[in-house]
A and B are shown apart, each in its own frame.
Chain A
Amino acid sequence: MSAIVKAAERFVETEIDGEIVLMRLADGDFYSLRDSGRAIWQAIDGLRDRDALLAALAASYEAPHAQLATDLDAFLADLRDAGLLARG
């Protein structure tokens, strides 16, 4: 699998009270990430692929592996739909 990479040129981000706020530069839309969404976003380092992200998530959350995989895939799909990930 290929590494998952943020589309860094398409957004700006900041952290407020432990939540990550993203703004998509094209239209000014905002996204707020916390809890597992924040953990996944921070784990996307441009090197890890989907399985490595899942392993990182499993190390932090005590949930069934299948459930974590479903949640991760859904979140990555949301990020792709929002244009926040580079096409790979």
Chain B
Amino acid sequence: MTAAAATLPDAPETLARARTIRAARLPAGCGIDELDEGQMSFDGTRFLLRERGFSICYTQAEGLYAQLDDPGQRGRMELFLDGSVHAAIASLAGLYPLHASAVTLNGHVIAFTGPAGAGKSTLCAALARRGLPFYADDTLVIDPARAPLACLPGHKRLKLWPEGLALAGLQGEELVAPDYPKYFAQAPVRARPAMLPLGALVFLEEGSQFSFAPIGGAQRFARLNDDHYTAMLRNRAGRPEAGALFARQAMLARAIPMFRLARPRDPAQFETMLDQTILALDGIARA
């Protein structure tokens, strides 16, 4: 890999502008009444979300509306704005959100993906303790229009469960929300907030022993659809026809180096796993 930081600022600025809330009341007739609490809908142009105490509506033409009916739910609303809403807005802007946390190594972003609870945030926070600058938590947005593929710096505060804090050796700063007992934390080393090339996408899995292996062939293609909640948003944004979706996914599958990291989830083996992970990442950084 060769380090080549992207400097074009348009994607982060576009996203930040779109994230500006235009009004604290949803426009009449936006369709939110058709949703029950806990539901979201995305027909390719309009993103709607209804939760206990708040509702959100976004279209590219009309912008972002967020209606908070219960002030006690402000924290949860912020979580959704940073998560699903951010990913939907990014998708509509032609960007490619991944459910991933990331660190940097030699100027490249190393992203770790996996389902909720896979250990993405904990691993990246612990790698930051070992000196790999922290880049993004939980959502990583890629600009697929750039070559090499470029990542947007993370927009979320790091969140960890208490067990994750202990493994990463961090102190929790504050509870995320009363009914969501994760803690905000500060990664010990943070990357500068700049767009950087994507060096690798690593799929986290549980295994009886540590293994780190490249993913090749059609598996690279299939794994991009195995990206949990963001895949639905990406695939519907702008209602792309199937052939165009296929072509974009094929381009990304060819362009993104992918690896599978399997490891035991035993806390007693966590530091050893970190050593092995850093060694493996050094190997791909040298390649």
Contacts and interface: CB of A to CB of B under 8 A. Distances in A.
Interface of A: 12, 14, 16-21, 23, 25, 28, 30, 32, 34
Q: How large is the interface on B (under 10, 10 to 19, 20 to 34, 35 or more residues)?
A: 10 to 19
A19 B218 contact: yes
Most A-side CB within 10 Å, residue of B218, B220, B242: B218
B80 interface: no
A16 B222 contact: no
B250 A14 contact: yes
A21 B242 contact: no
26 contacts: A12-B242, A12-B243, A14-B221, A14-B246, A14-B247, A16-B218, A16-B220, A16-B221, A16-B250, A16-B253, A16-B254, A17-B216, A17-B220, A19-B218, A21-B218, A21-B221, A21-B250, A21-B253, A23-B242, A23-B246, A25-B242, A28-B242, A30-B218, A32-B218, A32-B222, A34-B217
Q: Is the interface of B mostly helix, strand, loop or mixed?
A: helix
Interface of B: 216-218, 220-222, 242-243, 246-247, 250, 253-254
Contact of B243 (A19, A21, A25): A25
Q: Is the interface of A mostly helix, strand, loop or mixed?
A: strand
A32 B246 CA distance: 14
Given A16-B217, A19-B217, A30 B222 contact: yes
A12 B218 contact: no
A28 B240 CA distance: 13
Contact of B247 (A12, A17, A19): A12
A23 B243 CA distance: 9
A20 B254 CA distance: 12
Contacts of B243: 12, 25
Given A16-B250, A21-B253, 7 more contacts: A12-B242, A16-B216, A16-B220, A16-B253, A21-B218, A21-B250, A32-B217
A30 B218 CA distance: 9
